[in-house]
Structure 1
Amino acid sequence: MASATHHEHKHHAPRSIGCMVITCSDTRTPETDASGQLIQKLLKEQGHSIAAYHLVKDEPAQITARITEGIANESVQAIIVNGGTGISRRDSTFEAVDAMLEKRLDGFGEVFRYLTYQEIGSPAIMSRATAGIIKGRVLFSTPGSENAVRLAMEKLILPELGHLVKELTK
């Protein structure tokens, strides 16, 4: 059962957050980026705004450049990255993101993998989904599949986004 304090914190959280969405993929185009489009759709449905959207190759320099750009943009309070969190040779998003984080929100990855395990079983251990804080912004990094994005957004990110941003302003 959630405490009254938890509900009180959420009640005072901002209702609209400026978000940057970054898709990391070697094969997608803006037209075929179903996961990036889904993130934007779900954010808008909850009253959040899309301050920027980028599709980049799964190359650390490109990923860090876009994140740095987001940090410099005052209208960006949250950055949501999708793709590149697996274990294949080309998956380098985790390393790029993890190196930039000042504080890690380990619970995000842990709970995401637990929820994923409930849906697909043992392949959940291959996900390197992560989240943390960088220069006063909250950053989430999810796998690139539509199912993974929907799970992360609906179960974890959207319910806590305003609360997290509020906590960062304290």
Structure 2
Amino acid sequence: MARWGLVVTSDRVKEHPEQDETTPMLRRLLGEHGHELVYTAIAGNDPVEILYHIAAALREGAEIVLVTGGTGPNPRDISADLVSRICDRVLPGVGEEFRRRSLEEGVANAVLSRALACSFRDRLLAVSPGSPGAARLMAELLLEVGDHAIHQLRGHRHEHHKHYTHNHGRTCRH
């Protein structure tokens, strides 16, 4: 079970922290799955502030850091750009699957999202759109693949032929 960090990026939420719906939702979701939220922060759309909080989450021992907000085409949407610059490797399937699931839920604007996940040393960084629903969707996806990703990032061998039950209800052999 992983230790998580959360950086909510939003000028509006930074000015009015009582409007933060993402942090309590994610704390509940992670707790339900036996994961721990070890670091939370609200940052404005400021590159220094966002990078500071990502680094702080990593220092606190977060194995997965989710940054919410900053994935759209607006010039102030900088989180995806910042995270992609510090990545060791982008894991494109995560962003692709996030957009696919969003479209499946009827969110047409998902095609504009630059949601992503990547490795940073032996940690996993991800960026989702800022809405609580988008953050939940990304967190659910990371709950499915995050532990395995961390295991692999630490250089462990693949453990083949295990059976997993995924959220689609089918048991798969990997």
Aligned alpha-carbon RMSD (Å): 1.4
Do the aligned partners of 1:18 and 1:50 also contact (CA within 8 Å) in 2? Answer: yes
Give the match for residue 125 of structure 1.
111
Alignment partner of 1:36 is 2:23? yes
Which residue type is aligned with residue 52 of structure 1?
Y
Alignment partner of 1:61 is 2:48? yes
Alignment deviations for residues 75-115 of structure 1 (CA, whole Å, 9 cap, x no partner): 22111111111111211111111111111110011111111
Question: Unmatched 5+ residue regions in structure 1?
Answer: 1-15
Do the aligned partners of 2:6 and 2:57 also contact (CA within 8 Å) in 1? Answer: no
Do the aligned partners of 1:24 and 1:56 also contact (CA within 8 Å) in 2? Answer: yes
Alignment deviations for residues 93-144 of structure 1 (CA, whole Å, 9 cap, x no partner): 1111111111111001111111111222532211110100112110111111
User: Which segments of structure 1 move beyond 4 Å, counting only runs of 4 or more?
Assistant: none
TM-score norm. by structure 2 comes to: 0.82
Question: Unmatched 5+ residue regions in structure 2?
Answer: 156-174
Which residue type is aligned with residue 57 of structure 2?
G
Secondary structure in 2 matching 1:120: coil
Do the aligned partners of 1:36 and 1:82 also contact (CA within 8 Å) in 2? Answer: no
Q: 1:121 to 1:101 in 2, by over 3 A?
A: same
1:2-13 pair list within 5 angstroms: none
Do the aligned partners of 2:91 and 2:116 also contact (CA within 8 Å) in 1? Answer: yes
Distance 1:122 1:45 in 2: 29
The number of residue pairs the alignment matches comes to: 153
1:1-170 pair list within 5 angstroms: 16-28=1-13, 29-73=16-60, 75-154=61-140, 156-170=141-155
Alignment deviations for residues 31-56 of structure 1 (CA, whole Å, 9 cap, x no partner): 21112322222111111111110100
Secondary structure in 2 matching 1:52: strand
TM-score norm. by structure 1 comes to: 0.83
Provide the identity percentage. Answer: 30
